[in-house]
């Protein structure tokens, strides 16, 4: 049998407090005991002592509530009940037995409360048979009615409360299982959501970036420009400047034929590294086509594009001196600035940048 405490008893059954039911049964027995002591003849002192015993009963347990060893405490209460019944010779005392049995059902496992209640029933019958006064009469019908209404009702209450407690325990277990399933589902849902977000991020990167260089692709370039124009169109502001730098690498096919495609990819990556070093943190770097790269400089005039041109030109020359294969490569660069992002199209800006192309010697 699993031991329980008063706190554990109070938590059984979810919303219904077993501790409250046990206390109500004890309080009911206390009231009946005082009434029996006042009106039905047994010693009022004994009845008051028994009432105090019930009032402070939870403090009399030397072991955890529901322990086998606490049956000794229940034996003391049984003795008091038998004395009160013998002294009062009243069927009203059966109400005290009802309270006792209900509390036994709430506190103890069936292995304890069932044999104890059978034992106390036998003792109650013996006391009633030998000691009960003549007010019940010698007629067997009266005594039969007494036992049928008394102990029949007690046994019905016993099993009904036992079923009730079992139902509450099963409901609590079902609730725990449901909460456990809910937690598992929430955990799996969060994991699926995390995986979906990661997949969306991977899909976004795959759709908008160039796998070789890690730069944005032309799809992103077009979407960025359209979104920028739409935003400034909505706020009715068209004087937002955007500078564009185009870089065209020619002779790359010959380089691939001479040194191989792997070396050609390395060359592209080296030139992209130079572009990254020359660009600012807020600049947007795009691989517009196989050998054409662009740098979008948002919110800046043509002067920023010229600064980028000089930085890029110097680093490309240094790279060419260290790599003889660059003698077959020609790098062209051009730039243009858009002052009215709503009215001017990206095609116009690209065409003007192409017209300004110059070779880096």
Same domain, 174 and 227: no
Q: What is the pLDDT of residues 34-50, one digit of tens each?
A: 888 877 766 778 888 88
Q: Are the C-beta atoms of 54 and 30 separated by less than 8 Å?
A: yes
The whole-model pTM stands at 0.48
Q: What is the pLDDT of residues 1-16, one digit of tens each?
A: 344 444 334 434 433 4
Instruction: Name the nearest CA neighbour of 240 among 295, 280, 296.
Output: 296
Residue 46 domain boundaries: 6-179
Distances (CA, A) of 346 to 90, 248, 349, 354: 105, 17, 5, 12
Instruction: Confirm whether 197 is domain-assigned.
Output: no
- The answer on pLDDT for 143 being more than 60 is no
Residue where a domain stops, chosen among 127, 157, 179: 179
Q: What is the pLDDT of residues 185-244, one digit of tens each?
A: 788 788 877 777 776 767 777 778 888 888 999 888 888 888 877 777 665 566 778 889
Query: Taking the chain, what is the end-to-end CA distance rounded to the nearest angstrom?
Result: 93
The DSSP string of 236-264 is T-----EEEEEEEEESHHHHHHHH-HHHH
Instruction: Confirm whether 34 is domain-assigned.
Output: yes
What percent of the chain shows pLDDT beyond 90? 15
335: confidence class by pLDDT, cuts 50, 70, 90: very high
In CATH, what number is assigned to the domain containing residue 337? 3.30.70.270
Same domain, 155 and 270: no
Q: What is the pLDDT of residues 287-328, one digit of tens each?
A: 988 889 999 988 877 888 899 999 999 999 999 888 888 888
- The answer on pLDDT for 181 being more than 70 is yes
Instruction: Confirm whether 186 is domain-assigned.
Output: no
Q: Are the C-beta atoms of 320 and 326 separated by less than 8 Å?
A: yes
Buried b (16+ CB within 10 A) or exposed e, 224-258: bbeebbeebeeeeeeebbbbbbbbbbeebeebeee
Q: Are the C-beta atoms of 244 and 338 separated by less than 8 Å?
A: yes
Instruction: Confirm whether 184 is domain-assigned.
Output: no
Instruction: Name the nearest CA neighbour of 290 among 272, 275, 306, 308.
Output: 272
Please report how the helices 140-208 and 94-107 are oriented relative to each other, as an axis angle in degrees rounded to 10: 30
Same domain, 164 and 221: no
pLDDT value of position 16: 45
348: confidence class by pLDDT, cuts 50, 70, 90: confident
Residue where a domain stops, chosen among 125, 150, 179: 179
Q: What is the pLDDT of residues 67-114, one digit of tens each?
A: 555 666 776 777 777 777 767 766 677 777 777 777 777 776 655 566
Same domain, 161 and 19: yes
pLDDT value of position 343: 75
Same domain, 141 and 277: no
Q: How many domains does the chain have?
A: 2
């Amino acid at each position: 049998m699993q031991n329980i405490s008063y706190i554990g008893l109070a938590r059984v059954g979810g919303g219904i407090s077993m501790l409250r039911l046990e206390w109500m049964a004890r309080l009911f027995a206390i009231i009946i005991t005082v009434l029996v002591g006042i009106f039905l003849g047994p010693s009022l002192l004994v009845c008051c002592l028994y009432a105090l015993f019930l009032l402070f009963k939870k403090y009399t347990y030397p072991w955890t509530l529901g322990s086998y060893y606490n049956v000794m405490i229940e034996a003391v209460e049984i003795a008091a009940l038998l004395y009160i019944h013998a002294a009062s010779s009243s069927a009203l005392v059966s109400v005290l037995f009802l309270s006792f049995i209900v509390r036994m059902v709430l506190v103890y496992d069936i292995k304890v409360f069932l044999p104890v209640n059978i034992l106390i029933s036998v003792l109650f019958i013996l006391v009633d048979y030998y000691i009960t006064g003549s007010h019940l009469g010698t007629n067997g019908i009266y005594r039969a009615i007494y036992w049928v209404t008394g102990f029949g009702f007690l046994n019905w209450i016993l099993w009904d409360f036992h079923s009730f407690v079992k139902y509450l325990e099963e409901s609590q277990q079902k609730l725990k299982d449901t909460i456990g399933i809910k937690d598992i589902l929430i955990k799996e849902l969060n994991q699926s959501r995390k995986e979906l977000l990661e997949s969306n991020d991977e899909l976004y990167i795959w759709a908008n970036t160039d796998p070789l260089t890690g730069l944005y692709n032309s799809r992103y370039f077009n979407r960025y420009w359209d979104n920028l124009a739409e935003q400034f169109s909505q706020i009715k502001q068209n004087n937002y400047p955007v500078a564009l730098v185009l870089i065209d690498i020619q002779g790359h096919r010959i380089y691939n034929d001479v040194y191989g495609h792997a070396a050609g990819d390395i060359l592209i990556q080296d030139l992209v590294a130079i572009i990254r070093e020359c660009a600012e943190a807020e600049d947007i770097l795009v691989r517009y086509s196989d050998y054409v790269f662009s740098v979008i400089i948002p919110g800046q005039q043509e002067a920023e594009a010229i600064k980028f041109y000089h930085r890029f030109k110097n680093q490309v020359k240094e790279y060419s001196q260290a790599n003889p294969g660059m003698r077959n490569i020609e790098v062209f660069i051009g730039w243009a600035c858009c002052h009215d992002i709503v009215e001017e199209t990206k095609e116009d800006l690209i065409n003007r940048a192409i017209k300004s192309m110059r070779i880096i010697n």
